[in-house]
Amino acid sequence: MSLARAIATGDLAELPSRRDEDWRWTDLRGLIRAMPPASPASEGPTPPAVFAAETQLRVINGRGPDEVTVGAGETRTLALRFIAASSGTAHVSAIRIVVGEGARLTLLETYEALAGGCLAEADLDIALGAGAALERVVLTADAEDGVLVSTAVVTMGPGARFAQTALSCGGRRQRLETRVSHPGAGAGVRLDGVYLLAARRHADITTVVTHAGLDGATDQLVKGVVQDQARGVFQGRIVVREGADRTDARMGHHALVLSDRAEVDAKPELEIFADDVACAHGNTVGALDEEALFYAAQRGIPEPQARALLTEAFVGEVIDRIEDEGAREVARAWAAGRLRATP
């Protein structure tokens, strides 16, 4: 059951619903009453890219390249733009990304809506060779009435490194899901996210990391800010299989809820079947610190500005972890823009 299958077959019964445990906070079947027509081919002009990169690839209305390969030992920066160009239509895309042995890829992925009300799924199949390094930064800019599901399945060779930061502004429903098969063996995963939601937007950051071998590390920090009637969802699962000893896994999810009608649902899970592991998780959902706000006001900073300052600092901790300097600056500007736009 998936949005992609529902779009491909036109069968609404294929949509994930709240009866599926993994989708209980991101119900699509209750939301979508009729399947929109398939998105047409579109070659129209697209706005300037959000991320600067030597290679720019576009997937427009589900049509684009289906495989990208970075050869062994190469270093590349790639902007991958998923663009919804038609309004009220549906499309699915799938792309395979192969990062060869010892290669380095910075993947700057955007989801852009040029029109409203699209239904889209993008499936990424990402394979990292031994010693390869991938930094993936995902930024969504979907319409308020757009529905988007992005699912990345990541496999890693020994000693590989996968670092991800998902930046979400949400949509009518939006889910960024990442499933990582962690081989242990000195490989490292960083799986971060930021969701900044206003109006009635919804965003769901779901991750599953499965440690299958000795000596693996996973570090996760996800932060969210929700206001108005927005809803943030975080589902993080780290599985440490039998035999995956000496795994070091840390998960943190922290959210600020800035209005009474906004909501955050979080399900952090650690499933540990191995011995001698270091695993920790922390999860907090709360409001801005009133004492810090008073302190800032006492120094002459008006309350809306103080709230923006403290909120930007709150998510800044995640953005600071982005390694690519250009992407980090884009992320910082994105966060500042979203947090200051809506008081």
Partner 1 sequence: MLSIKDLCVSVDGKPILNGLSLELPAGEVHAVMGPNGAGKSTLSYVLTGRAGYEVTGGQVTLDGQDLLALSPSERAVRGVFLSFQYPMEIPGVPALTFLRTALNAQRKARGEAEIAAPAFLKLVREKAAALKIDFEMLRRALNVGFSGGEKKRMEILQMAILAPRLAILDETDSGLDIDALRIVAEGVNALRAPDRSMLVITHYQRLLDYIRPDRVHVLAGGRIAASGGPELAHALEREGYDRYAEAAA
CA–CA distance, 317 with 302 (Å, rounded to integer): 23
Residue 291 binds to partner 1 (criterion: CB under 8 A): yes
- Residue span binding partner 1 (CB under 8 A) among the ranges 14-22, 99-107, 302-310, 326-334: 302-310
CB of 316 to partner 1, least distance (A): 5
Residue 27 binds to partner 1 (criterion: CB under 8 A): no
- Measuring CA to CA, which residue among 146, 269, 123 is closest to residue 203? 146
Residue 289 binds to partner 1 (criterion: CB under 8 A): yes
Residue 37 CB neighbour total at 10 angstroms:
11
CB of 248 to partner 1, least distance (A): 24
Residue 314 binds to partner 1 (criterion: CB under 8 A): yes
Nearer to partner 1 (CB atom), residue 266 or residue 310: 310
Nearer to partner 1 (CB atom), residue 173 or residue 338: 338
Residue 125 binds to partner 1 (criterion: CB under 8 A): no
Residue 299 binds to partner 1 (criterion: CB under 8 A): yes
Residue 296 binds to partner 1 (criterion: CB under 8 A): yes
- Residue span binding partner 1 (CB under 8 A) among the ranges 13-21, 120-128, 264-272, 297-305: 297-305
- Measuring CA to CA, which residue among 174, 92, 190 is closest to residue 139? 174
- Residue span binding partner 1 (CB under 8 A) among the ranges 93-101, 242-250, 277-285, 307-315: 307-315
Nearer to partner 1 (CB atom), residue 34 or residue 298: 298
The dihedral built from the CA positions of residue 34, 10, 17 and 25, taken in this order, carries a sign that is: negative
Kind of pairing, strands 173-182 and 231-240?
unpaired
Distance of CA 130 to the CA centre of its chain: 24
CB of 336 to partner 1, least distance (A): 13
Residues composing the chain: 343
Instruction: Sheet containing 133-141: give its strands across.
Output: 55-60, 75-84, 104-113, 133-141, 161-168, 188-197, 217-226, 248-257, 278-286
Rule CB under 8 A: choose which of 313, 323, 337, 343 binds partner 1. Answer: 313
Rule CB under 8 A: choose which of 297, 323, 333, 343 binds partner 1. Answer: 297
Residue 329 binds to partner 1 (criterion: CB under 8 A): no
Residue 305 binds to partner 1 (criterion: CB under 8 A): yes
Residue 309 binds to partner 1 (criterion: CB under 8 A): yes
CB of 74 to partner 1, least distance (A): 36
- Measuring CA to CA, which residue among 192, 244, 199, 196 is closest to residue 220? 192
Distance of CA 125 to the CA centre of its chain: 15
Q: Which residues have CB under 8 Å from 193's CB, separation 6+?
A: 164, 165, 166, 167, 168, 176, 205, 207, 222, 223, 224, 234, 318
Residue 158 binds to partner 1 (criterion: CB under 8 A): no
Give me the residues that bind partner 1 (CB under 8 A), please.
Answer: 289-292, 294-303, 305-306, 309-310, 312-314, 316-317
